[in-house]
Chains A and B, each alone.
Chain A
Amino acid sequence: MNESPVFSVRDLNMHYSSNLALKDISMDIRPKRITAIIGPSGCGKSTLIRCFNRMNELIPAARVSGQVLYHGEDIYAPGVDPVVVRRHIGMVFQRPNPFPKSIYDNVAFGAKINGYKEDMDELVERSLRRAALWDEVKSKLKKSALDLSGGQQQRLCIARAIAVEPDVILMDEPASALDPIATVRIEDLMQELKQDYSIIIVTHNMQQAARVSDETAFLYTEVDEATSARWGILVEFGETGQIFTKPHDKRTEDYVSGRFG
């Protein structure tokens, strides 16, 4: 069942003003899979994932060259509105960040601004169910989202992202601010979600990547000795099992066996 990839990254280079951050990244993200991006800290994992929904543009002096094809179309092509791109691609952040509104209004927010025409109550319920949060909050939808626990808030953020009906969900270290029990719930939720969504997750936790993902991309930092400039490169990309047990590249092997972090 080899469908065409959801994302095709071609020769992606990313700069912050004159500093190179990512160099020559090329990869294909297959649909309805969980793809993990791992690598040592500072190698550019978060930078890379933000290239998928043009969030890096919010940082001043950020420049992207190369292509990121979403269903075959370059999202960086002139004439493409980033607002439109972000509606199709959902994002969950490291720290849960619900808006200072009610639970209902949080989930409905994205749909409201994007002009959703149908029954909002039904959309909110459907999204909260998919995020495995409905039973816990169905009786207090009008209460403030900030009253929820950390794990609940993160699931709320997932529900909020799902409500605009994306087909991809980007997750930037979604469980790193949560306790172990909440983390397990998020990981279980991801397995359910992958039936309907393609998920790309950045994680610094190798065990999590091994547990959860179908495919893994290993990013690594290259250094220019002369100028001490650093940037991220894609070293290896493949089936998670293969990456962790029989990596092709020595650097990958060193990382997954814990020789450096």
Chain B
Amino acid sequence: MSVVDRWPEGRVGPGVSLHDCRPARRRVWRNRRNTVLIVLATLFVLITVGMILVYIVLKGIQTMNWEFLTSSQPFSLRRSGGGFLNGLIGTAIMVGVAAVVSVPLGILGAVYLVEYGKGNWLAKLIRFFADVMTGVPSIFVGLFVYTAMVVNFGFSALMGAVALAIIMMPIVLRSTEEMLKLVPSELKDASYGLGAAKWQTVTKVIIPSAAPGITTGVMLAIARAAGETAPLLLTALGSIQLTAKLWGEPIQALSLAIFDGARNPFAAGQARAWAGALELIIIILVLTVLARVITSRSRLSR
């Protein structure tokens, strides 16, 4: 059987030109169809992103004004006006306290993994379970803080902060670990060579040189914590009061206020929820963008 017959798509030869040979229609069709599907999938996702952002902005901007940013929830949720200041303050307090607690712990833990533990069994165990922790549903963390502490101490901002700290700590730990690993050993050698002790090398050389990356990781963890709702339901509970008390009474969070608004049958409550969503998404986006700017800036300056 000649070469030409073996290859049904055609073969260049006497009387047969390149223009006469074509890939089989089925191949061409399948390639085209799959390309279309892939492009459609991408468009679908992009449109979804667009729809979410556009609606948040459009609906949120209608209610977003100075009054919204500076006043608290009205006592009757049916009333229009007011804002989510109580939620904003609550989120700021709880995320702030959680960061103050979880960031140093996370950084030190990462220092252990990279500088002291290296490949030993304890470090492997910590790393593994830190990964497990990042995958734990946040509502479970809330349940834990409830059963272990809230039953004894009551709902409060501190309880919410504890829950957020538990969520943030493994994230900060793992991202800091990655950053610390990038510190070149020449830098450490130089420090040791000058007679610095290990703890001084860590605190004065290693951590500062990884600082941009660590900061990025921390900011991303803060952005995540700012959006958390479920664990706060079970620890801070939420409230309409405008308060900044760390202890002794429930406190509102921005995310909780939005959650309430989503379940609110009244238009005023829903309108506030959209403005709150816009407020929250702006905060998160600013944190995320800042985080990335810090990373790219530091790379450029090196």
What residues of chain A have their CB less than 8 Å away from a CB belonging to chain B?
A: 70-71, 73, 75, 77, 79-81, 83-85, 87-88, 113-118, 165
Contacts and interface: CB of A to CB of B under 8 A. Distances in A.
A73 B10 CA distance: 15
B8 interface: yes
Contact of B23 (A75, A79, A84, A116): A84
A114 B9 contact: yes
B7 A115 contact: yes
B25 to A, nearest CB: 11
Interface stretch (B13-21, B76-84, B100-108, B258-266): B13-21
Given A115-B24, A165-B3, A87 B9 contact: yes
A115 to B, nearest CB: 5
A85 B18 contact: yes
Interface in B220-249: none
B68 to A, nearest CB: 48
A118 B1 contact: yes
Q: Which of B5, B8, B23 has the most CB of A within 10 A?
A: B23
A88 B20 CA distance: 13
Interface residues of B, number: 18
Contact of B6 (A77, A80, A118): A118
Contacts of B10: 84
A118 to B, nearest CB: 5
A84 B22 contact: yes
Contacts of A75: 18
B219 to A, nearest CB: 35
Interface of B: 1, 3, 5-12, 17-19, 21-24, 27
Contact of A81 (B3, B5, B6, B23): B23
B6 A165 contact: yes
Q: Could you tell me the dominant secondary structure of chain B's interface residues?
A: loop
A80 B21 CA distance: 8
B21 A84 contact: yes
B6 A116 contact: yes
A73 B23 contact: no
B287 to A, nearest CB: 35
Nearest to A164: B7
Contacts of B6: 116-118, 165
B5 A88 contact: no
Contacts of B7: 87, 114-117, 165
B8 A117 contact: yes
Nearest to A75: B18
Nearest to B11: A88
Given A71-B12, A88-B12, A117 B5 contact: yes
B24 A70 contact: no
A83 B23 contact: yes
B9 A115 contact: yes
A70 B19 CA distance: 12
A172 B10 CA distance: 27
A114 B10 CA distance: 10
Nearest to A82: B23
A5 to B, nearest CB: 14
Nearest to A78: B19
A117 B9 CA distance: 10
A190 to B, nearest CB: 22
A99 to B, nearest CB: 18
Given A80-B18, A80-B19, A70 B12 contact: yes
Given A115-B7, A116-B7, 15 more contacts: A73-B12, A79-B19, A80-B18, A81-B21, A81-B23, A84-B10, A84-B18, A85-B18, A87-B7, A87-B9, A114-B23, A115-B9, A115-B24, A118-B1, A165-B3
B129 to A, nearest CB: 33
A87 B6 CA distance: 13
14 contacts: A75-B18, A81-B21, A83-B23, A84-B10, A84-B21, A85-B18, A87-B7, A88-B11, A88-B12, A114-B7, A115-B7, A115-B9, A117-B6, A165-B6
Nearest to A165: B3
Contacts of B1: 118
A117 B17 CA distance: 21
A260 B145 CA distance: 73
Contacts of B5: 117
